[in-house]
Amino acid sequence: MSQLSLLDAFGDGFARRALLEAVMVGGLCGAVGVHVLLRRLPFFTMALGHATFPGVVLAALLGVSLFLGAALFGAVVVVVVALLGARERVDDTSAVGVTLSGAFALGVLLLSAQAGFSRDLSAYLVGSIVTVQPSDLVTTAVVGAVVLGVLAALHKELVLGAFDRVGLAALGYPVLALDIALLLLVEATVVTSIPAVGTILAVALIVAPAATARLWTERLRATMTLSAALGAASGLVGLAISLQWRVAAGATIVLVAAALFAISLVVAPRHGLLARRRAAAALGGAGAPGGSYLPDESESRDHSGRLAPAAIAWALCQWRVAKIRSLMASTGPTALMRIRIPRRW
C-alpha cells in the first residue's frame, strides 16, 4: 500500500474513528500507567482484565453493553480486592490472586451453564478498533477526562501514598479510600481500552509507555507527560502499520509500544544499557574519584571481565561521602541543610 493509499485509508469514516480512539486510549493508558508502576500494580492490571469476564458474560446474557457489564463487575472486584488487601494477615498479592482468579472462574462457570450461548467474545479479548462507533468515542473521551481530572486533583496524595503510606495516614488522609479510588481509575482505563486492544493486551499498553518514559526522565510530572505522549504515538503508529500491512490493529499497537521500550532500554541517555556500560567503563578506567578505595582487579571484575556491580556501588558510595565531606568543610553544616535537593523518583 503506497503512502497516498494510506492517507486515503485514514480518510474513511471507520479509519478516522479508529485513529481518534487509538490516540485517546494510548494517551490515557500512558498517563495511568505511571501510577501503576509507582504502586507496582502490573499484575493487578493484567488480572483485572480477566476478572471482568463474568460481567461480560452476564451482560451478553442480559442483552446489554458488554463494556457496561465489565465496568460494573470490575468495580465490585476492585472494592473486594482493596478491602482484603487492607487486612493485616492478607497481603496485596494474595488478595489480587484469589479474588481475580475466582472472578474469572465464575465467568467460565456462567458461560458453561448456558448451553445455547453463541455470542462471539473475541473482540472483547483482543480488541477490534476498526469497528468502534461514535458512541465508543464519546465514552472514551468522557471516561478519559474524568480519570485524568481525578488524577490531577489527587496527584499529591496518590504519589505520597505510593512512596509512604504510613506518612499519608499520619497526615490524616483516608488511605483505603485513596487506594480504592486509584484502583477504580485503573479499572476504568482497562475497560476503556478494550475496544482498542482487548483485555489481554490492555496491560501492555498501560505499562509499556510508562516504563519507557521512566528510562528517559527522573521527574515525575515529565514522566507522566512523556508516557501519555508515547502511548498516543504507539496508537497512531500501530494503527498506521496495521492499515498498511492489513494486520491486527490491537496487537500492532502493543508491539509498537514494546518496541519503543526495547529501543529506549538500549539508547536512553542515563538509564540505557549503552550509557551504563560507558559509565562502568569510565569508572573502571579512572579509578575511584577523590582517592576512594576501589577493590583490586581480582575483586572488582567478574568472570566475564566486566566491572562487578558491587565494585561500582562501593566506588560511588565512597565518592559521594567524599563530596559531602568536602561540601561541609567549605560551607558548614548549617549551609548544607539549606541546599535544596531535587525531587526524583
Total Cβ atoms within 10 A of residue 133: 12
**Per-residue pLDDT, 85:** 75
**Per-residue pLDDT, 120:** 61
**Per-residue pLDDT, 278:** 85
Distance CA 89, CA 49 (A): 26
Q: What is the DSSP string of 51-101?
A: HTHHHHHHHHHHTS-HHHHHHHHHHHHHHHHHHHHTSTTS-HHHHHHHHHH
Lookup: cell for 341: 535537593
**Per-residue pLDDT, 304:** 47
Q: What is the DSSP string of 161-216?
A: HHH-HHHHHHTT--HHHHHHHHHHHHHHHHHHTHHHHHHHHHHHHHHHHHHHHHHH
Distance CA 309, CA 263 (A): 23
The two counts, helices (H) then strands (E), for the chain are 18, 0
Distance CA 36, CA 86 (A): 18
> Which phi and psi angles does 231 have, rounded to 5°?
-65, -45
Contact 190, 51 (CB under 8 A): no
**Per-residue pLDDT, 322:** 64
Low-confidence ranges of the chain (pLDDT < 70): 1-11, 88-90, 115-123, 284-345
**Per-residue pLDDT, 109:** 82
**Per-residue pLDDT, 338:** 44
Query: Residue 303 CA to chain centroid, in angstroms?
Result: 36
Distance CA 109, CA 207 (A): 30
Q: Is 324 left (phi over 0), alpha (psi -120 to 50) or beta?
A: alpha
3-state class (DSSP) for residue 269: coil
| pTM, rounded to two decimals | 0.75
**Per-residue pLDDT, 129:** 87
Residues 6+ apart with CB under 8 A from 256: 234, 237, 238, 241
Distance CA 215, CA 34 (A): 12
